[in-house]
Structure 1
Amino acid sequence: MIEIYKKNESETNEVVSKSILVLFGFVLLIGVFCWIGVFDVYDYMINGFIIAATMPLLLPTIVVRLLHVDKPFVKYLLITCVVLVTGVAYVVFTFQTVIIFVIPSIIATFYLDLKVMRYSGIISIINIALAHMFTCFHLFQPWIEPFGGMKPIMLYGALPRILQYLVCITLLYLLCKRILEFFKGFYQVIQEEKKVPDVCNTKNPTELDYILEKLTEREREVFELLVQGFTNTQIANKLYLSNGTIKNYVSVIYDKVGTRDRTALVLKYSLFYRGNDQSHT
């Protein structure tokens, strides 16, 4: 399923290019707020920011939607364009726009590709460092920036923001990884059901019976709760056992079943336990 999704990467590029175009719309909206006096920003600053952001934010639309470029490098180009804009935004507005450093990584999750996530993380960290370094030499708004000089800006500005960003990218990375694992398990179940029809059919649970024959009575109890979606802690509470004991049982079950993909087991066998009297175990 992941392979199918990746083959349709051109569609994801279109979605991302639309998202970046929406981002450009917000940039223009901020410009309007500045021009009418809602935000107290000098005209030369907001005008310079919009000019600097226009090409990176319009380039994805040009490449993807007008030129119809469909190459593997396109997704990296799109992420890089957004990263550049976040760097420019920070140079101009400093800490007022620090939250936007995470936007490229949010967009990178659209691809469900851990390699793209890692790329967005690496260049974003470099971007944060370079943006702060630039402000060491020139501050557009020195009256609102609490730090001045190379050491204070890098130590008290760049470093904390890099750490904050690392928290965000780590959570996004784990989310992406979890979704990929779910898709992998779901796809595995579909493929196996094609080979072995009615594997969870209540009238013909032959494969499930084969698995249960390998398990001890206690392992069957753990397996039954596991495939119904209970966590190790929940299983431990239900069976009045310790988490460590349940973890050992689950590991043994994985070895006997021949897979360590918990999601696949849940998707494959949970329907059987929902539709049957569980006293057969």
Structure 2
Amino acid sequence: MRLSLVAVIGAVEDELLREFAAHYTKLGVGEFFVGFHFPDHVPEEERERTLGTWRRLAGPPALVSTGPWHEHLHGELRDRLRAAAGEGWHLIADSDEFHAYPLSLEETVARAEATGHPLVNGVLLDRLAADGGLAGAGDAPDLDTRYPVGGFLTARLTRGNPRKVVLARSDVPLALGSHYSPTVRIDVDEVRDIPVVHHFKWRPPVLDDLRRRIEMHRSGAWTEVTDTLPEEAERYLDHLLAHGGRVDGGALGIAFRPVSLARVPDWWEAEARQILRERMTSAPRG
């Protein structure tokens, strides 16, 4: 089976890049088609450091671009990378998204093909520090230790789209953000063994990123397509301000529970299916 990873990455920490490459190599990905985009505020030395780290991990990136982070740009770069990856199945992931599959990758793709499904949907499980904060456990060497609990923060707090296409056949188009395909409808009740998308977005750099996103989109310097990005960012920042800089699961009705990249929780299937069902009745279907 030919399986290529496709990812669009910005200016992120070297530690995240290292764990990203290691995670997907261990998962069985054969080829990486990774593109980097750096907004104008990222210093040249930071760009070169990030690109140098990736070259040491997985070789030269498939593309590099700079300039405003317009909302439509992610999808355009992703599609260029998919074209470069060619025919076969594509694993789609952002740098803060670490997939975990109830079955192996080969079994997951084989089941999709056998049932006539040209894509596989996963659901975001947002990872947090044990106290709900942004800073993990000291100098712990891995993401699981730094961010040991997970819950549906995207779905319940920011009200973003928690559904992500994790695997797609090369001929299947994907919508903005890879949340669904505009040409494929999947019946939620037919879906089995839903992949976990461990979402390590809520790290210390996210605060500056979200504030910049609000400023740049509201000013028009970065163009929007969905008209939702600043609102989602503000919901998160307002919650932190009201709760001492931490996410309060109790205030949101979210149970943040211990989770790990190594094991899909027993409760995952039923709760992820409910998240999919809620989203697919209130948004474009895919």
Q: Could you say which TM-score interval applies, normalised by the shorter chain?
A: under 0.3
Larger Rg: 1
What TM-score, normalized by structure 1, do the two folds share?
Answer: 0.23
- The structure with more strand, counted as a fraction of residues: 2
Give the structure, 1 or 2, with the largest relative contact order (CA under 8 Å, sep 6 or more).
2
Q: Whose helix proportion is higher, 1 or 2?
A: 1
TM-score after normalising by structure 2: 0.23
